[in-house]
Amino acid sequence: MTNKHLFFDLDRTLWDFEKNSEIALFKLFHELSLDEAIDSFELFHSNYKKNNALLWKEYGAGRLSKENLRNDRFKITLEHFEINNPDIVNKISDGYVELSPQQTALFPHAHETLDYLKKEGYNMHIITNGFKEVQYIKLKKSSLDHYFDVIVCSEDVGQNKPSPAIFKHSLDSANAKAADSVMIGDDYEVDVVGAQNFGMYGILFDPENTFSHYQDQHRIQSLNELPGLLPFIF
């Protein structure tokens, strides 16, 4: 077994967060008859995504509690459409947390890439800022859990990436050295810079080519590029 360690982000890196989230929200939108008060799911979804992204930034910076994030993203969205109903907010909030992690859409080549890396002897782990109670469900339902030795959720540490504390905890848990470790994730500041600041290597997963201007960084647009890149890092 090699002493090389690969730490993966989960959402938007392996598990297709946007696709799975949209499937769950579409179902809830109709189940809760929101289509009777809102012109289209597209309008609702667009507004929700904007609010959710802003609130996740607040949560990541430690300025918003998990409970407030879970409810406020729906409360603010529904208020935009003049729906002021705490019961509906609770139903869609609880329904989303239950339904979303049951979805199983992954990015292309996820399983084949992880299969190959496992056979090559890499030690593989997860570091995620996602909520603990749903991340394990996502991994299990998507048949990803068996690839990973250590799974660290930010709630285990009390700090979100890019805090050094979460990288230290993860390396300690995996009995890994920073110089022998790579972090692969979709968020440049949180995953790549956070890992590099702790002495690890960082690889940006950039399927939409959003960060093409970061020419000096290790960057992949498809997961199946990863096996070919790793020998140039280690």
How confident is the model over 147-196, as pLDDT tens digits?
A: 999 999 999 999 999 999 999 999 999 999 999 999 999 999 999 999 99
Q: From 52, 71, 102, give the residue that closes a domain.
A: 102
How confident is the model over 196-227, as pLDDT tens digits?
A: 999 999 999 999 999 888 766 799 999 999 99
Q: From 102, 133, 148, give the residue that closes a domain.
A: 102
Query: Residues 48, 10: one domain?
Result: no
CATH number for the domain harbouring residue 171: 3.40.50.1000
How confident is the model over 222-233, as pLDDT tens digits?
A: 999 999 999 999
Query: Residues 76, 116: one domain?
Result: no
Q: From 102, 129, 154, give the residue that closes a domain.
A: 102
Query: Residues 59, 166: one domain?
Result: no
DSSP one-letter string for 17-56: HHHHHHHHHHHHHHHTTGGGTSS-HHHHHHHHHHHHHHHH
Query: Residues 84, 179: one domain?
Result: no
Query: Residues 12, 26: one domain?
Result: no
Does the model's pTM come out above 0.85?
Answer: yes
Tell me which residue range forms the domain holding 52.
17-102
pLDDT attached to residue 213: 82
